[in-house]
């Protein structure tokens, strides 16, 4: 069967998953993965803005060398809460809970995830965790850093450690249930003919992400509980008074929190694979390498956590092992970057908004990844640890990498999700503004950090001011750039051009049903006989044009 590039359902139905049922109850008690994805989209955006507000306060304080905007105790709470909200309530769920929930069943040809009610439960758990955390923030906040290092968090901090920890603990279950759902769905509910190596790379990366969620999250769950138990009973396993070791906390904490960064980047890499292939109309170069590298990142990511403990009392021998493994974990990521680049070579690239984000990702992720190697070198890390170099490194990956992928994916699948197109001109404009703003914010931080500016300080020596001023200027541009899509996405839901089933003319399974999809995704269960990313040669594309095939009964 020839891949169909332009598809129109024979009798386009007016009924889709959005208008199939009306009323608040039909949304709050839905079992439809697509509706749940939208519920997540709303809540995640809300938390992103809260995290962004904290970022604004940080950048305002750091405009001047003196601590004149916030007191140091308050500043501690601001950067702590910025980290907690952004990591646990935005980055970790972002792509899996919105794009993943929406697309995983569609891309494999299923009607829903394996456990729809557990999917809905995961959203409510996410909300509960969020409510508990927000309560803690409003009641007085937490000042330990998002890393909750002992003994400050167990013994000396006077802030709402237990409450915040509880919020994060609850949120972890949301993550676990999402991962569980994805793994079981991908194993048991693929449509006939959808073999593992015909799966879109988006699915591979979400499968790998789910592995990390399942294997890692429980460890931070127990670590938070142990921390809370110690705080409440005033003694514990991290307490030298009983012969305990505070560094044990760091081992347990980072056992999850390092793989967590791969939870944040892998789904984004999956999006990028989709964007690169589809917007250059060429099959991904080295499909199986990219697929296996996702699994490799998931596995290797669990072997490197000690690189966060290089400057602690951790043994230098363990440091050498972790340093070596940290270099090794860069390899599968590099393999992906090479394969994406090879895909672009001699392809027909269309510079639509999603592609702009994908191209931005490749450059920014490479910078972020390579600066990670500096930090993985033991001796260099002694100099760079706890400086702004580290801050710049992880923001390049999490914002320049993960966030770019999220925005690119949102734009790419927006017509499928909402049935509306966003305004392309504004899309490209805001992508460029975000790119410029982002680099202006974080590039100076590499320099400042290398020259010695410490992180988590609200006041600094005057020689670092020029970098901070550049950084804050960049942050304002970045903030402005991100407001634009927020506005036009909402605008498009009412006034955007209606999108047809396959507005980008692409072969993926999700494009072979109407936009927005019906509740059951496909009128007939597809039987897959084509490989992933099978594009017709350019000559045939012209001939196909407005070709409307008969829908073969299968």
219: contact with other proteins by CB under 8 A:
yes
Least distance CB 238 / other proteins (angstroms): 9
Angle at 132 between CA 134 and CA 178, to 5 degrees: 105
Interaction residues for other proteins, span 151-180 (CB under 8 A): 176, 179-180
Taking CA atoms, 458 is separated from 69, 185, 516, in Å, by: 9, 47, 48
Q: Is 387 helix (H, G, I), strand (E, B) or coil?
A: strand
How far apart are CB 476 and other proteins at their closest, in Å?
A: 42
Give the range of 4-12, 241-249, 385-393, 438-446 binding other proteins by CB under 8 A. Answer: 241-249
378 binds other proteins (CB under 8 A): no
Question: Which one among 23, 243, 462, 537 touches other proteins, defined by CB under 8 A?
Answer: 243
| Residue 242 binds to other proteins (criterion: CB under 8 A) | yes
Residue-by-residue DSSP string for 503-522: TT----GGGGS-SSPPTTS-
| Of the candidate residues 241, 324, 490, 531, the single one contacting other proteins (CB under 8 A) | 241
Residue 184 binds other proteins, judged by CB under 8 A: yes
Structure tokens at 396: 């390049």
C-alpha pair distances (Å), 242 with each of 245, 251, 253, 289 = 9, 18, 20, 50
Tokens of 37: 């994805």
**Which range of residues in 200-208, 228-236, 421-429, 461-469 is near other proteins by CB under 8 A?**
228-236
Q: How far is the CB of 233 from other proteins (least distance, A)?
A: 3
- Distance in Å, CB of 295 to other proteins, minimum: 12
- Joined together, the tokens standing for residue 460 give 């600094």
**# residues near other proteins by CB under 8 A:** 60
235 sits near other proteins (criterion: CB under 8 A): yes
Q: Hunting for tokens 């304080």 — which residue is that?
A: 61
Residue numbers 92-111 binding other proteins by CB under 8 A: 110-111
Give the Cα separation of 139 and 27 in Å (integer).
31
Q: What share of the chain is helix, strand, coil (3-state, %, to 5)?
A: 70, 0, 30
Site residues for other proteins, 420-459, by CB under 8 A, read none
Q: Identify which of 257, 438, 471 has the alpha carbon closest to the alpha carbon of residue 365.
A: 438
Which SS3 state, helix, strand or coil, does residue 435 take? helix
Closest CA to 272 of 212, 335, 360: 360
- Which 113-142 residues touch other proteins, going by CB under 8 A? 113-116, 118
Q: Considering the complex, what minimum distance in angstroms separates the CB of residue 79 from other proteins?
A: 27
Q: Is 509 in the site for other proteins (CB under 8 A)?
A: no
Do the beta carbons of residue 126 and residue 41 sit within 8 Å? no
- Degrees (nearest 5) of the Cα angle 147, 153, 156? 145
By CB under 8 A, name the one of 313, 462, 542, 543 that touches other proteins: 313
By CB under 8 A, the residues from 255 to 284 that bind other proteins are 255
Residue 316 near other proteins by CB under 8 A? yes
Q: Which residues form the interface with other proteins (CB under 8 A)?
A: 110-116, 118, 176, 179-181, 183-185, 187-189, 214-219, 221-223, 225-226, 229, 232-237, 241-245, 247-248, 251-252, 255, 302-303, 305-306, 309, 313-318, 321-322, 520
């Amino acid at each position: 069967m020839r891949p169909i590039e332009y598809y129109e359902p024979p009798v386009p139905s007016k009924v889709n998953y959005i208008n199939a049922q009306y009323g608040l109850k039909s949304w709050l008690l839905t079992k439809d993965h697509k509706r749940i994805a939208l519920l997540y989209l709303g809540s995640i955006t809300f938390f992103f803005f809260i995290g962004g507000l904290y970022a604004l306060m940080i950048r305002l304080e750091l405009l001047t060398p003196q601590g004149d905007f916030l007191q140091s105790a308050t500043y501690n709470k601001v950067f702590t809460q910025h980290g907690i909200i952004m990591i646990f309530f935005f980055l970790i769920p972002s792509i899996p809970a919105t794009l993943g929930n929406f697309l995983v069943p569609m891309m494999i040809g299923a009607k829903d995830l394996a456990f729809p009610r557990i999917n809905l439960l995961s959203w409510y758990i996410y909300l509960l965790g969020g409510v508990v955390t927000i309560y803690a923030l409003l009641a007085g906040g937490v000042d330990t850093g998002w890393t909750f290092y002992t003994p400050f968090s167990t013994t000396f901090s006077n802030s709402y450690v237990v409450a915040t920890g509880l919020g994060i603990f609850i949120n972890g279950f949301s993550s676990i249930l999402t991962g569980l759902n994805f793994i079981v769905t991908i194993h048991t509910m693929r449509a006939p003919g959808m073999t593992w190596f015909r799966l879109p790379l988006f699915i591979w990366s979400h499968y790998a992400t789910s592995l990390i969620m399942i294997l890692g999250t429980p460890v931070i769950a127990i670590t938070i509980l142990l921390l809370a138990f110690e705080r409440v009973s005033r003694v514990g396993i991290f307490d030298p008074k009983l012969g305990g070791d505070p560094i044990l906390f760091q081992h347990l904490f980072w056992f999850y929190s390092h793989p967590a960064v791969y939870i944040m980047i892998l789904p984004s890499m999956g999006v990028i694979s989709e964007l690169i292939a589809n917007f250059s109309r060429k099959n991904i170069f080295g499909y199986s390498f990219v697929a296996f590298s996702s699994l490799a990142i998931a596995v290797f990511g669990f072997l490197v956590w000690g690189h966060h403990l290089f400057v602690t009392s951790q043994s230098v021998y363990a440091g050498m092992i972790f340093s070596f493994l940290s270099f090794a974990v860069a390899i599968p990521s590099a393999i992906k970057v090479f394969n994406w680049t090879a895909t672009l070579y001699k392809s027909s690239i269309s510079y639509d908004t999603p592609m702009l984000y994908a191209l931005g990702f490749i450059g920014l992720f490479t910078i972020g990844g390579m600066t990670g190697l500096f930090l993985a070198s033991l001796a260099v890390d002694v100099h760079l640890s706890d400086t702004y170099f580290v801050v710049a490194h992880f923001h390049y990956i999490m914002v320049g990498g993960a966030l770019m992928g999220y925005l690119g994916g949102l734009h790419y699948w927006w017509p499928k999700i909402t049935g509306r197109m966003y305004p392309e001109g504004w899309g490209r404009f805001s992508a460029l503004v975000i790119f410029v703003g982002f680099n202006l914010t974080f590039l100076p931080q590499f320099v400042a950090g290398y020259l010695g500016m410490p992180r988590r300080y609200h006041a600094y020596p005057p020689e670092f001011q020029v970098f901070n001023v550049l950084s804050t200027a960049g942050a304002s541009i970045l903030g402005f750039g991100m407001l634009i899509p927020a506005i036009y996405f909402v605008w498009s839901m009412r006034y955007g051009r209606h999108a047809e089933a396959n507005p980008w003319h692409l072969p993926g399974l999700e494009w072979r049903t109407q936009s927005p999809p019906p509740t059951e995704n496909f009128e007939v269960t597809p039987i897959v006989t084509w490989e992933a990313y099978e594009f017709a040669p350019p000559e045939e594309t012209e001939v196909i044009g407005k070709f409307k095939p008969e829908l073969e009964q299968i």
